[in-house]
Amino acid sequence: MTSLPNNVAYIIKKINDIWGKKPGKKALQKIVFLIEQKGIDLGFEYGLHFYGPYSDTLDAETSFLSADGVIEFDYSGYSHLMSLNEKNFIVEPHGLSDEQQKTIAELIEHFKGQSPSELELLTTAIYTYNHSQDKTKESIISGVRKIKGSKYSRPQIQDSLEKFSYFNKPILY
């Protein structure tokens, strides 16, 4: 059994343990983005993608972990579901304090039950907020609509804004 300090593998395992199911690539992208929004720098840069904020380097990291046999992909459904190869690897956090590990676990628990689409909306709204001069509710809603078109209704976008307080992101009204 090999011990591996790797934060991506660690987060995949945490999601699997807390949610009781394998995360897909989209859910992992969004959870890592949200972890970074809680102030834990995992070193991933995000840009906009069809499904909201996306990190090429995070996607590459999961590919490398798969090639090394650390994580396994299940391609049988609509998503690329990931799990840890626990027969051969024990993953540990790399450079994360006990407090940061606790925050990661709490965040994963907090968003348990959220669909990848709901996480996509929330992360897109936060991305819009982070890249906007105007931090008003209307500006964020307009920004999300500009990025997502009619994919999400105004009430859905407004509901996602209610989660901003969890990230200490004040919205001006």
For the stretch 17-35, pLDDT in tens is 999 999 999 999 999 999 9
Q: Is the pLDDT of residue 169 over 80?
A: yes
pLDDT number for residue 24? 93
Task: Determine, yes or no, domain membership for 149.
Answer: yes
Write down the pTM of the prediction: 0.95
Burial class (CB in 10 A: 0-12, 13-18, 19+), 13: buried
pLDDT number for residue 21? 93
Which of 63, 91, 70 lies closest to 7, judged by CA?
91
Task: Determine, yes or no, domain membership for 15.
Answer: yes
pLDDT number for residue 78? 74
Task: Determine, yes or no, domain membership for 142.
Answer: yes
Residues spanned by the domain of 120:
2-167
How many domains, in total, are found in the chain? 1
pLDDT number for residue 151? 95
Task: Determine, yes or no, domain membership for 172.
Answer: no
Sign of CA dihedral 7, 60, 42, 27: negative
- How far is it, in rounded angstroms, from Cα 153 to Cα 41? 32
Task: Determine, yes or no, domain membership for 173.
Answer: no
Q: Is the pLDDT of residue 79 over 90?
A: no
Q: Is the pLDDT of residue 80 over 90?
A: no
